Amino acid sequence: MTEFWLISAPGEKTCQQTWDKLMAATTRTNILSTNHKFSIPDLKVGTLDVLVGLSDELAKLDSFVESVVKKVAQYMADVLEDSRDKVQENLLANGVDLVTYITRFQWDMAKYPIKQSLKNISEIISKQVTQIDNDLKARASAYNNLKGNLQNLERKNAGSLLTRSLADIVKKENFVLDSEYLITMLVVVPKVSYGDWEKTYETLAEMVVPRSSNLLFEDSDSGLFSVTLFRKAIDDFKHKARENKFTVRDFQYNEEEMKADKEEMTRLSTDKKKQFGPLVRWLKVNFSEAFIAWIHIKALRVFVESVLRYGLPVNFQAMLLQPNKKTMKKLREVLNDLYKHLDSSAAAIIDVSALITPVYYSYDH
């Protein structure tokens, strides 16, 4: 994950001079960071009281919108499952990769009209992202239920013979059906005990039909045998089988139930495929919307904090720094030195972090 620092410094005689000073300090001797001007339009300042209140509200909104951005990105990865390598190419903002969007940021006048008050713009963003969050919860819940039901059915058709569904293994001809007296039982026998089974199954209870055992299916550990006996011997047979470490599976051959299970699996699988494409498209669109909203919140915060710290008239330069990972500590020292002439409150923001918060730009899976 790449980190960006978003800072502002008061304008010198011109904002260009502020920019030139930063560039000289961070790139002249060593390239401590890659820097970009961060363009913020002339927003409506409003009253001091409103700005102070907005400062706290925007900090909370910043955290909330970031959490939604990350949730949408994470769910994109969950939905893509085996295609997680395609997550990054689906996480775009306005059709471009996130680094490009941040470093070439332009305020979206259509979505967030600058004639509106700062509070109104923040409320527009809050309402928009809250709706995305609510929609994500609803869509994720529906898709997860569908996926979970399908996985449960798939699980039934996989795994050990001791637990898996036998419906796709057995056939009608394996059973004695519609007999008043006889019944076919299914028994799981460990492979190491095949010999014991063949020797003993006819004597596990009275009324076992001789030579009625057939091996129907094998997995890596066990085999599934059928055996026919009289109904009145069922309990005795189960008891003796358990003593000999043979497992009798409770199974009744019912074609209608088996057909219904297969149809349910087909239906769920089809529904999942139908929902997959629209869901990925929705995630792609709304990741972009949430990410764009988040960067606009960053811009609002820089504007509000800069006016509060540097005063009126509005005169500051917002700058986006991509620190060199190996020289972050040095970069902080350079920034502190560069802006130590500012008053203590203004210097504090530089000292604490030199940024509003690191700007998250990529989903690291």
Chain segment 301-324, per-residue pLDDT in tens: 999 999 998 888 999 999 999 999
Gap between the terminal Cα atoms of the chain: 10
Q: What is the reported pLDDT for 364? A: 39
Poorest-confidence range of 15-29, 116-130, 231-245, 280-294? Answer: 15-29
Q: Which helix (H) or strand (E) holds 18?
A: helix 15-27
41/262: higher pLDDT: 41
Say if residue 282's pLDDT is above 80.
yes
Whether the CA torsion 157, 161, 167, 169 is positive or negative: it is positive
Burial class from Cβ neighbours inside 10 Å (0-12, 13-18, 19+) for residue 265 reads: middle
Q: Hey, is 168 helix, strand or coil? A: coil
pLDDT band at residue 343 using 50, 70 and 90 as cut-offs: low
Domains of the chain: 2-151+270-361 (1.20.1460.10), 173-252 (3.30.70.100)
pLDDT in tens, 153-201: 888 888 889 988 898 889 999 999 989 999 999 999 999 999 999 999 9
The DSSP code for 203 is G
Mean pLDDT, residues 290-298 taken together: 96
**Residue 250, Cβ neighbours under 10 Å: how many?**
8
| Percent with pLDDT over 90 in the chain | 72
- What is the rounded average pLDDT of the residues 319-343? 87
Distance CA 223, CA 242 (A): 16
Q: Of 337 and 227, which is predicted with more confidence?
A: 227
Percent of the chain with pLDDT over 70: 93
Verdict on whether the full-model pTM lies above 0.85:
no
Statement: residue 355 has pLDDT above 80: no
pLDDT in tens, 111-134: 999 999 999 999 999 999 999 999
Cα–chain center distance at 37:
32
pLDDT at 85: 77
- pLDDT higher than threshold 60 for residue 274: yes
The number of residues making up the chain comes to 365
Mean predicted lDDT score pLDDT of the chain? 89
CA distance linking residue 277 with residue 259, whole number of Å: 28
- 131-142 per-position pLDDT tens digit: 999 999 999 999
DSSP secondary structure string for all residues of 226-290: EEEEEGGGHHHHHHHHHHTT-EEE-----HHHHHHHHHHHHHHHHHHHHHHHHHHHHHHHHHHHH
Q: E strands of the chain, at which residues?
A: 5-10, 33-37, 182-190, 214-218, 222-230, 247-249, 316-323
Which amino acid is located at 269 in the chain? S
Per-residue pLDDT tens over the stretch 9-48? 998 888 999 999 999 999 988 899 999 999 999 999 988 8
